[in-house]
Structure 1
Amino acid sequence: MAGARVTGLDAHLHVEGRLDATLVAEPGDVVAVVGPNGAGKSTLVHALSGLVACTGHARLAGMDLLGRTPQDRNVGVVFQDQRLFPHLSAVDNVAFGLRSRGADKHQARAAGLDWLDRLGIAELAARKPGQLSGGQAQRVAIARALVTSPDLLLLDEPFAGLDVGVAATLRIELGRHLADFAGITVLVTHDALDALTLATQVVVLDAGQVAQVGPPTEVAARPLTEHVARLVGLNVIREGDRIRAFSPSVVTVSVHAPDDSARNRWQGVVRGAAPHGDAIRLQVSGERDLIADVTPAASRELALAPGREVWLSVKETAVTTYDAV
């Protein structure tokens, strides 16, 4: 892995109309980048890797990234669609990065085999990408990114499109390797589990700008955007410079307007209903888009199917209020 040369990442990247964001990280950090579709997450990865032209600055281990080609950045990249070379075997795909930097063919293949072994797929070394499952191909892609001992590892939704069980296994394996990784990792994800289990820092992007930065537990406890609130299973209402947050489990659902004069009550229509642990989680749209958990019995009794008009209410004592900035 990269050693003493890794001294941190300090970047401010600007891509006209798409991204204007600052990112700072130290060796060993795993930075989870989250946000809604179109927030600029993939643009950030492409800018750091050199696949998208940008202005600003980006210094990694004392090196100016923006003044270098993608091949000269010592950055490893894993995309959700792997982007393996279809005509090369798994081991030659992994060895490609070393070979392109002038490594001896036998040394590069030996290093490639070593990484395939670390990721538990050494027996698949001779297979072409078309002969691999999605999970196997993603392991090859991860091995290809790590074999060059990068200072910066970029993971653009590496578990997207994988079977839930395969993704869970790969998440555990990747977490083990990242724990020993001396460089900096930037992980783009739509899954709160990735941010909570793999990351040391969470960066929330919204409309191309950083909306929140902090440790995973802090961001999960006090999300500043509705997208992150949904990721971690909370409702968030912004009122001026204050945020009001509450759990779906404290929401009371009825089909008639509540008799009391509770301040926190909203009318809406059920847009979705799905099992969530022992409860049924409702997606309700109306004057506020909210989520609520009800028992299966209540769901049947109130006929809480999509299209059902409902009232939601929450006691003030169940709401946490904090500053938005």
Structure 2
Amino acid sequence: MSTPFLHARLDVPGRLHATVTADAGDVVAVVGPNGAGKTTLVRCLAGLLPDSGELTVDGRSWSTPHALPRDRRVGHVVQGRDLFPHLSARENVAFGLRARGVDRRTARARATTELERLGVGALADRRPHQLSGGQAQRVAIARALVTEPRLLLLDEPFTGLDVGVAATLRVELARHLASYDGVVVLVTHDAVDALTLGTRMVVLEDGRVAQTGTPTEVAARPRTDHVARLVGLNLVAAADGAGLLAFRPSAVTLSPTEPSGSARLRWAGQVSQLTPYGDGVRVGVRTSTGQDLIADVTAAAVAELLLQPGTPVWASTKETAVVRYPVDA
């Protein structure tokens, strides 16, 4: 059995206790609710937060306190891009090389090449305040890649960008990562990021790994409410406690009285919220057992059932629309 390129057993008391492994070329999408430990994990990998675990990258130990942040071949893109405001785009990208002892001419030349690869070479002499959000993020990514890191950390790289800009940058980043032979750790709240860029997915909850697998595997059989919502599914525990049930909001029917028929699963509850969704309405339902469900219905159904927050309803779905699997699958 080969040794993984990345082996991280991270332990920060009260905040994080997680093990993450990945092979060369993997993009590990890390998801989880706010406070789950995602940023703590990234900071530990970058050496910015000490932990009592073990970290090995490409056969070398990066465990603290032996490996200082400057000794790690890490590229780090944080939320908000964090470019130096007094430096041009080229000098921002060259900064990491200069800090590693590369001469100024060589560093500037390599920075220019990296900016051109990301489509912003013509903006090399501009300062951060002269760049759009998408342009600044390309510069930040170029700065992270130019030092040829073995571990690339992307913490919510598309946050705050226009939807169209984020989509374009996502495609460009995927193209660059296709030839990257290190490991990428991508923290995201967006299912599109995880499913289109990730080769592995790690779900954190309360500082621990709640689920891991390929994005397709995790999306098909989520084990946490957060992931179920992320990929647009309802997730409930089976009545016998022996497994989980996943089903789409479009498979949920709402009615004012208890539906009949043995082929239906049903829950009594009341409407918690209504949100326009596509051509219809997404209705949140809080069941009598405290379970939150979502149903996609037409605007006509909302009017016919007189739905509003607090309205008593029954939510039901056919057995054939449900995927059942063990809790530990």
Match of 2:267 in 1: 265
Task: Give the CA deviation at 1:256.
Answer: 3.7
Give me the CA root mean square deviation: 1.7
Stretches of structure 2 that go unaligned for 5 or more consecutive residues are none
Task: Give the CA deviation at 1:257.
Answer: 3.8
Match of 1:48 in 2: 45
Match of 2:320 in 1: 317
Give the distance between the partners of 1:274 and 1:65, measured in 2 at CA: 49
Give the distance between the partners of 1:209 and 1:54, measured in 2 at CA: 14
Alignment of 1:232-243 (within 5 A): 232-239=231-238, 240-243=241-244
Query: 1:179 is matched by which residue type in structure 2?
Result: A
Matched, 1:198 2:211: no
Match of 1:3 in 2: none
Kept in 2: contact 1:266–1:288 (CA 8 A)? no
The number of residue pairs the alignment matches comes to: 319
Kept in 1: contact 2:270–2:309 (CA 8 A)? no
Give the distance between the partners of 2:161 and 2:286, measured in 1 at CA: 30
Query: 1:56 is matched by which residue type in structure 2?
Result: G
Kept in 2: contact 1:151–1:184 (CA 8 A)? yes
Alignment of 1:167-186 (within 5 A): 167-186=166-185
Task: Give the CA deviation at 1:297.
Answer: 2.6
Kept in 1: contact 2:266–2:314 (CA 8 A)? no
Give the distance between the partners of 1:116 and 1:302, measured in 2 at CA: 56
Alignment of 1:12-27 (within 5 A): 12-27=9-24
Kept in 1: contact 2:274–2:281 (CA 8 A)? no
Match of 1:289 in 2: 292
TM-aligned CA distance change 1:223 to 1:7, over 3 Å: closer
Give the SS at the match of 2:53: strand
Match of 1:227 in 2: 226
Match of 2:30 in 1: 33
Give the distance between the partners of 1:68 and 1:126, measured in 2 at CA: 35
Task: Give the CA deviation at 1:174.
Answer: 0.6
Q: Show CA shifts across 1:107-148 (max 9, x none).
A: 111111111111111111111112211111111110000000
Q: Show CA shifts across 1:168-197 (max 9, x none).
A: 111111111111111110100001111111
Stretches of structure 1 that go unaligned for 5 or more consecutive residues are 1-5
Task: Give the CA deviation at 1:295.
Answer: 2.0
Q: Show CA shifts across 1:237-256 (max 9, x none).
A: 12434111111111001234
Task: Give the CA deviation at 1:259.
Answer: 5.0
Task: Give the CA deviation at 1:279.
Answer: 3.5
TM-aligned CA distance change 1:206 to 1:197, over 3 Å: same
Q: TM-score under structure 2 normalisation?
A: 0.92
Kept in 1: contact 2:85–2:127 (CA 8 A)? yes
Q: TM-score under structure 1 normalisation?
A: 0.93
Task: Give the CA deviation at 1:263.
Answer: 4.2
Query: 1:297 is matched by which residue type in structure 2?
Result: A
Match of 1:11 in 2: 8
TM-aligned CA distance change 1:306 to 1:127, over 3 Å: farther
Give the distance between the partners of 1:244 and 1:7, measured in 2 at CA: 33
Kept in 1: contact 2:271–2:283 (CA 8 A)? no
Q: Percent identity?
A: 59
Give the SS at the match of 1:71: helix
Task: Give the CA deviation at 1:70.
Answer: 1.1
Kept in 1: contact 2:4–2:22 (CA 8 A)? no
